[in-house]
Amino acid sequence: LDQARTEAHAVIRDLSAGTPAFDRLTLTRELPDAIVNGEMFLQYQPKVHVRRQQIASAEALVRWQHPTRGLILPGDFITVAEEAREISALTLWTLEKVIADQKLIAADGNDLTIFINISGQLLADVRFVKQMCTRVVESGARIGLEITETSVIRDPESAIANLQAFADVGIAIAIDDYGAGLSSLAYLKQLPARELKIDKMFVLQLTSSNRDPLIVRSTIDLAHALEMEVTAEGVETQAAMALLSVMGCDMVQGYLISRPVSIEAFRQFLRDDKARAPEEQSHAMFRR
């Protein structure tokens, strides 16, 4: 019955989303094996600290290399994973891969926190929270989690308690896609988050729109008032970068610095950056 319900939900979603139902149902069935068969892989995207002109951290983004359909991006399978109740398994797989990749990065003499995206469903999953905390503590990995406010608003009490449990074992918390979903200032001030990421929808047209710069500037000021650091995602141009710098944005992430890349390419990116003289770093980096 559970499986039938899951599939019925998928059909209803597809009717509204306009995606062929067949695809989602098939993906739902294929997903558990895909994780086990090694069809999932991670790409990494750096975040750069604007003032220090240094790489601050990185975000891990999951992809599915499907044997017949080719590359599938998370936008097309994360909700499938949630509906199929596979999101916990997928996220724990991601954590293990990140722990292993962070060791490779450390072997190159580089040391940085890696952020993992956490689906809202998991913020209410006590078993998942325990497994995650245990693995982070025993591995000694430097892990951060990106969560959206929308996922907190579903069940704020348990979400806030679980986020505090993560924070208590040294996991960094960032608010992802700020401004794109449901938002509550009442919750924002209660979350144990030190970083707020402005959604790329406000950043992509930063220098060609009238309102986006006002929204971005006031969001930066709000975050600073709450003693949080601000990251702008979707930074694609020098012009956006310059404006964000003037506005006091702390960190930037986007194609201007690097697209999400394989662990091998990311290690090379970090090695190249390290080899540069400090005064050269920002210029070279922001001209890529």
Tell me the DSSP string of the chain: -HHHHHHHHHHHHHHHHT--HHHHHHHHHHHHHHHHTT-EEEEEEEEEETTTTEEEEEEEEEEEEETTTEEE-GGGTHHHHHHTT-HHHHHHHHHHHHHHHHHHHHHTT---EEEEE--GGGGG-HHHHHHHHHHHHHHT--EEEEEEHHHHHHSHHHHHHHHHHHHHTT-EEEEEEETTS---HHHHTTS--SEEEE-GGGTTTTTT-SSHHHHHHHHHHHHHHTT-EEEEE---SHHHHHHHHHTT--EEESTTT---B-HHHHHHHHHHHHHS-HHHHHHHHHH-
Is the CB of 28 or the CB of 94 nearer to ligand C2E?
Answer: 94
User: Footprint of Mg ion on residues 131-170 (CB under 5 A)?
Assistant: 146
| Binding residue (CB under 6 A) for ligand C2E from 125, 176, 229, 250 | 176
Q: How many residues in the shown chain lie near Mg ion by CB under 5 A? A: 5
Contact between 113 and ligand C2E per CB under 6 A: no
| Binding residue (CB under 5 A) for Mg ion from 30, 149, 177, 195 | 177
User: Footprint of Mg ion on residues 96-135 (CB under 5 A)?
Assistant: 117
Of all residues in this chain, which one has the CB nearest to Mg ion in the complex?
146
Contact between 75 and ligand C2E per CB under 6 A: yes
Contact between 176 and Mg ion per CB under 5 A: yes
Residues near ligand C2E (CB under 6 A) are: 45, 61-62, 73-75, 78, 91, 94, 117, 119, 146, 176-177, 200, 233-236, 254-255, 260
Residues near Mg ion (CB under 5 A) are: 117, 146, 176-177, 233
